[in-house]
Every structure is written in C-alpha cells, then in structure tokens.
C-alpha cells in the first residue's frame, strides 16, 4: 500500500515532454506533480543548444503541440523552420498559458531515483534541496541531452575558448577576427559552420564522417499557405499522427531499384528544390532495405555535392562514403557546402588522420601536424537516448541500477517502461519511434499514453504498473529484428551507439513508424494492457479520491 508522498509525480525535465506531462497530470488528471529541471528555464534541448544557426529541421507548422487547437492556431512562427529562440519563446508561452511555472523547480539536477518496494513509492534526489517522494516518476529527459565531448588527450590544456554546441553560453559568442576550429560535421555543425564562417578570420572544420546534407530552403512561409494550414488543423493533426515519421510525408510505392536514373532524377529533383526531409523520409522506401536502391539515390546526391563545391578535392572529401544514405540522421543546411568555397574556410579529414590530442594552442593530428586556434567548437554530439537515463542513479526492485540492467543495450516495453522499475515512465525513450520521428508528435502520443496508464491504475485501484519480463524480451527482440531487416545497422551512427567508445552496438530507436506504433499502443490498452502487470492494492492516489482523479480539469 503506497504511503503518502510529497507529490503524486516527479517529472524530470521541462522540455516539450515535461511541460505537456505536467499539464496532463495536473490540469487534466488532477494529480500533484513537480517538474525538476537542470536548466534555468523551460525548453530542454532548446534551452541548451544555443549555437549559431540552431533551429529545428521540422517545418514549424508541425513542430509544436496539437493537443490544444487554440494554442496551435494562435502561435505564429516567423519562418518555415523555427529558430531556437523562437521555440524557447513558444515553450515559455505554453508554460504561462497553462500556468505551469509554479510546479517547476529550475537549476536543479536529478541525481537519483530509488524505488521502495514496501511502499510502492519513489524517492527522487537532486543536487540541491531535500529529496522528493512520489508514486510516479516520468523521465522527460530528452533523447539528445547528454552531451558528448571526446576524451581528447590534453583537452584541458587549451588556452583559447572552448564551446560545445549542446552547452552554448547564453551570451553571444563573437568569433570576429578569430581562428576557429570546429570538430564534427553532424546536424549541429552543419547549421553552425556557415554562420561562424561569416565572423571568423579563419575556420577549419574537422570531418571524421561526411554527411549527406540536403538544402533546408528556409524562409518565410507564403501567407496563402499559412492560411490554408490554419484552416486544416484537424486534417494536419490526423495525418501527422498516423504518418510514418510525424510529418506530412509519404514514402513512394515504386522503388528506386526498379527506376532508371532519369526517373530517379525526376522524383528527387523537386524534393531537393523544395528542401527539407522529402528525399530522406518522403521518397524511396526500398533505399532503407536494398543497397542497390540506396546507391541510386546516393548517385543523385553525390552529383549535387560536386555541383555545389568548387574545389574537386574538397568535394570528394565532402562526399559520404562507406555507408548508405538515410541511415545516419540527414542534416538540412543553409549554405553549408557553399561555405567551403570561401578562401578562409578549410576542411580537414580526421578519418584518415585522426585527432591525437588538444594542445595549449590548438588541435594536433596523428601525423604530428598542428592547427592553431583562438577558439575550438566541439560539435561532437550526444550520448544519445540511453545517456540521459544512465547519468541518473535509477534503482528499481532489488536495488537494481537501470544502467546496469541496460549494460548490453536498453530493455523496455514500447520504449515506455522497463521491467523491475514500476511506475517509472520514459517519454520518447529508447526503443520508441522517438528520434526517427518529428519529436513533438511522438511526445504527445507518449504523454497521452502515460496519462492513460496512470488513469488506469486509479481505475483498478492498483498501486503500480510495469512490463512483464516476457513482454519486454519480445519487444527488445522485435526492435532488433525490425532494425536488422534494414540497412541502419550497417552505418556507424549514434542510432547504433557507435559514436560513444564502449557503448554497446544496438539500434536505439524503434522502426515501427509513428502511426502503426500509436495503433499498437492503443491495441495493447484495449487488450487489457497486455504485457503490463498491475500490482498492489491502492487506497487511491495520495492527495485525491479516485473520482476526482478521473475528472477532467479546466486549465488553471
């Protein structure tokens, strides 16, 4: 029987997931909840990633909450893709509109969460203040929030300025007249490099793996298009929720394998011109399965790089090799390739000649050559998906540490819960579609489903819910089987944990696709929550009677 707790739920993180979870639990289920957030404001990813050019690669009109029609209608985005400060402003607006601030504690990092099997409660400790007890813990920690700085020898000796794109200072960083080195060529670097190049006197980009990069084609959205979208709230919502990736994009029936080069050009050129994820998530489905199909798409993209980059040697270096297109996150650019046509911008291949260390004055490569800088930007990514969970000491039944349970890779049911960790939920956690989708769409679905599960507990008078080991084993196996049928495991990517030395090579997200995954969750709920076990009798949530719990509430 659960004892009284400080709050019904502790939510870790005040990004998209944490804010909506708080609204749902408090304003709709009538529970008490406290959000604990490491940053000094709301925003999650968008609080920390303030590097030059940071913006979402999702079109603005689908990058936001859809649970409240009025909210969706009243917010105006200024461009096709929302910029970091605009997304932060949007989330601040959401927090104010639903009166979320009183229940958020900022500048506080959760350090541990421990489950007490006698009381069916969690104790959540932080780096400040006294621990909180709760019946539910919701890890709204983000998939890409644990930043990764490689352990380069001598890194602490560098005398210039050092920055990580995922922990950018709040004040403006001025690179004017400076010699700058950028390490990494993922989505963050692709956005930052063109803007850093505008200021720096000299810019060197260290590339280990070239990326396939497609134009963003950003800019203001024409008024008639905006208006048409405003009129189609329900249609857009329905389509993105039931789509493959949370966008209004559909994969083609005809494969690349059976298409001629001319046919491929006719399909891909308009998508290239339109910009965005059309080539990646809205063209040939067979390129994810057949290398022969993938090669035909690669040919188109390689030609584009050669067209954009003046120096043939630099172009060759920028052409990705050795892995299929689409199996590594496809960054969108606004002038990335063209930046390498500028005389003060240099590209250095650190696959052939890796970085051997950082010196007091710059970056040293294995061949002994040294590059001197006033500033180094680490655009070196994240310990994705499991990293944010691993950094908290999460102890479930029998005191088992979650990161030890996940030592060979995450083990979950639906990417929502892990057996032995009752009432602990992850929003867009590993083994859910998450990063293979437009995040807000998956976040809404997960938050709604978690709220439904918590409502179900009350309905049953149960104290806790968790997956059965059998259902979890089956989901882990299904997840791997889905990935192994594709080309994804053939690429060294953060999807595979390959960017972090020593991390097990396991495909981290889930490839069910957004719509079918949603349908699967709904089927499981209808089927008496098949695969989940409810246990313990509850006197009901500590602060409310059951009727009150299930009463929808008007937002305060």
Query: What is each CA distance from 164 to 50, 60, 183, 192, 375, in whole angstroms?
Result: 10, 26, 10, 11, 11
Query: What is each CA distance from 198 to 81, 311, 389, 474, in whole angstroms?
Result: 21, 20, 38, 51
User: Quick check: 494 binds ligand NAP (CB under 6 A)?
Assistant: yes
Q: What is the DSSP letter of 278?
A: H
User: Quick check: 362 binds ligand NAP (CB under 6 A)?
Assistant: no
Nearer to ligand NAP, 513 or 534 (CB): 513
Nearer to ligand NAP, 209 or 538 (CB): 209
Token pair 């190049």 is at which residue? 197
> In angstroms, rounded to a whole number, what is the distance separating the alpha carbons of residues 516 and 438?
15
- Residue whose C-alpha is closest to residue 249's, from 520, 515, 434: 515
> In angstroms, rounded to a whole number, what is the distance separating the alpha carbons of residues 59 and 281?
13
Nearer to ligand NAP, 212 or 449 (CB): 212
Stretch that binds ligand NAP, among 19-27, 55-63, 310-318, 540-548 (CB under 6 A): 55-63
Backbone φ, ψ for residue 240 (5° rounding): -70, -35
User: Quick check: 424 binds ligand NAP (CB under 6 A)?
Assistant: no
Nearer to ligand NAP, 110 or 379 (CB): 379
Contact by Cβ (8 Å): 537, 17: no
Residue 297 C-alpha from the chain's centroid: 26
User: Quick check: 63 binds ligand NAP (CB under 6 A)?
Assistant: no
Binding test (CB under 6 A) with ligand NAP, winner from 27, 165, 204, 512 = 165
State which residue has the least CB distance to ligand NAP.
Answer: 186
CB of 389 to ligand NAP, least distance (A): 17
Q: What is the DSSP letter of 173?
A: P
Tokens for 383, please give them: 């310990």
User: Quick check: 423 binds ligand NAP (CB under 6 A)?
Assistant: no
Kindly write out the interface string for residues 170-209 of this chain, putting x where it contacts ligand NAP by CB under 6 A and - elsewhere.
-------------xxxxxxx-x--------------x-xx
Alpha-helix runs per DSSP H in 377-486: 387-390, 402-405, 439-460, 469-484
User: Quick check: 56 binds ligand NAP (CB under 6 A)?
Assistant: yes
Nearer to ligand NAP, 197 or 394 (CB): 197
Q: What is the DSSP letter of 322?
A: S
Stretch that binds ligand NAP, among 33-41, 120-128, 246-254, 377-385 (CB under 6 A): 377-385
Residue 259 C-alpha from the chain's centroid: 33
Number of residues that bind ligand NAP (CB under 6 A): 27
User: Quick check: 499 binds ligand NAP (CB under 6 A)?
Assistant: yes
Binding test (CB under 6 A) with ligand NAP, winner from 381, 388, 409, 420 = 381
Nearer to ligand NAP, 31 or 377 (CB): 377
Stretch that binds ligand NAP, among 51-59, 340-348, 398-406, 444-452 (CB under 6 A): 51-59
> In angstroms, rounded to a whole number, what is the distance separating the alpha carbons of residues 449 and 517?
12
Within 8 A by CB and 6+ apart from 152, the residues are: 355, 357, 358
CB of 34 to ligand NAP, least distance (A): 28
CB of 164 to ligand NAP, least distance (A): 9
CB of 112 to ligand NAP, least distance (A): 27
Backbone φ, ψ for residue 394 (5° rounding): -105, 115
| 3-state SS, residue 369 | coil
Binding test (CB under 6 A) with ligand NAP, winner from 8, 37, 57, 383 = 57
**H-run or E-run covering 344:** none
User: Quick check: 355 binds ligand NAP (CB under 6 A)?
Assistant: yes
Supply the Cα-derived Rg of the chain in whole angstroms: 24
Within 8 A by CB and 6+ apart from 345, the residues are: 193, 197, 203, 204, 205, 339
Binding test (CB under 6 A) with ligand NAP, winner from 99, 105, 111, 150 = 150
Binding test (CB under 6 A) with ligand NAP, winner from 218, 283, 380, 386 = 380
User: Quick check: 440 binds ligand NAP (CB under 6 A)?
Assistant: no
User: Quick check: 443 binds ligand NAP (CB under 6 A)?
Assistant: no
Nearer to ligand NAP, 19 or 144 (CB): 144
Binding test (CB under 6 A) with ligand NAP, winner from 179, 329, 371, 518 = 329
Nearer to ligand NAP, 26 or 208 (CB): 208
Q: Output the 3-class SS for 106-157.
A: CCCCEEEEEEECCCCEEEEEECCCCCEEEEEEEECCCCCCCECCCCCCCHHH
> In angstroms, rounded to a whole number, what is the distance separating the alpha carbons of residues 203 and 215?
22
User: Quick check: 83 binds ligand NAP (CB under 6 A)?
Assistant: no
Nearer to ligand NAP, 473 or 492 (CB): 492
Q: 3-state DSSP: the chain helix, strand, coil percent, rounded to 5?
A: 35, 20, 45
User: Quick check: 335 binds ligand NAP (CB under 6 A)?
Assistant: no
- Which residues in this chain contact ligand NAP in the complex, by CB under 6 A? 55-57, 144, 150, 165, 183-189, 191, 206, 208-209, 329, 350, 355, 379-382, 435, 494, 499
């Amino acid at each position: 029987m659960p004892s009284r707790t400080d709050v019904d739920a502790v939510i870790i993180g005040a990004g998209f997931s944490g804010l909506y979870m708080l609204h749902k639990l408090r304003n709709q289920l009538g529970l008490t909840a406290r959000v604990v957030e490491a940053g000094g404001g709301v925003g999650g990813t968008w609080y920390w990633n303030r590097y030059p050019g940071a913006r979402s690669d999702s079109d603005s009109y689908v990058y936001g909450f859809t649970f409240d029609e009025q909210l969706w209608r009243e917010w105006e985005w200024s461009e096709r893709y929302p910029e970091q400060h605009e997304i932060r402003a949007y989330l601040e607006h959401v927090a104010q509109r639903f009166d979320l601030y009183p229940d958020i504690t900022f500048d506080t990092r959760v350090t541990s969460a421990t489950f007490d099997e006698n009381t069916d409660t969690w104790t959540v400790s932080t780096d400040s203040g006294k621990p909180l007890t709760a019946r539910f813990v919701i890890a709204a920690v983000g998939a890409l929030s644990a930043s990764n700085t490689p352990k380069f020898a001598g890194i602490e000796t560098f005398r210039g300025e050092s920055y990580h794109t995922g922990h950018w200072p709040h004040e403006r960083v001025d690179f004017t007249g400076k010699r700058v080195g950028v390490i990494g060529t993922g989505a963050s670097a692709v956005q930052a490099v063109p803007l850093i190049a505008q200021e720096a006197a000299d810019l060197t980009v260290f590339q280990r793996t070239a990326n396939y990069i497609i134009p963003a084609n950003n800019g203001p959205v024409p008024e008639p298009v905006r208006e048409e979208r405003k009129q189609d709230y329900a249609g857009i919502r329905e389509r993105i929720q039931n789509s493959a990736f949370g966008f209004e994009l559909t994969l083609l029936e005809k494969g690349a394998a059976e298409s001629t080069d001319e046919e491929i050009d006719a399909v891909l050129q308009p998508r290239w011109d339109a910009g965005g994820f059309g080539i990646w998530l809205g063209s040939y489905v067979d390129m994810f399965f057949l290398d022969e199909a993938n090669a035909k798409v690669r040919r188109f993209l390689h030609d584009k790089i050669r067209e954009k980059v003046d120096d043939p040697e630099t172009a060759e270096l920028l052409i990705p090799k050795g892995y299929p297109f689409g199996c590594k996150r496809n960054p969108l650019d606004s002038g990335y390739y063209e930046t390498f046509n500028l005389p003060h911008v240099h590209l250095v291949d650190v696959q052939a000649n890796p970085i051997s260390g950082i010196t007091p004055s710059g970056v040293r490569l294995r061949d002994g050559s040294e590059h001197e800088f006033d500033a180094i930007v680490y655009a070196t990514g994240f310990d994705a998906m499991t990293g944010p969970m691993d950094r908290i000491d999460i102890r479930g039944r029998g005191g088992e540490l979650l990161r030890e349970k996940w030592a060979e890779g995450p083990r979950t049911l639906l990417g929502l819960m892990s057996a032995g960790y009752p009432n602990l939920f992850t929003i867009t956690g590993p083994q859910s579609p998450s990063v293979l989708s437009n995040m807000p769409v998956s976040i809404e679905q997960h938050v709604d489903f978690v709220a439904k599960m918590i409502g179900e507990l009350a309905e049953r008078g149960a104290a806790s819910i968790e997956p059965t080991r059998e259902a979890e084993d089956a989901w882990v196996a299904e997840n791997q089987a889905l990935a192994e049928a594709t080309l994804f495991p053939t690429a060294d990517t953060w999807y595979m944990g390959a960017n972090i030395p020593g991390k097990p090579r396991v495909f981290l997200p889930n490839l069910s696709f957004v719509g079918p995954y949603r349908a699967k969750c709904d089927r499981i709920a209808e089927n008496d929550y098949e695969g989940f076990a409810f246990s313990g009798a509850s006197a009901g949530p500590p602060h409310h009677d059951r009727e009150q719990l299930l009463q929808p509430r008007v937002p305060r």
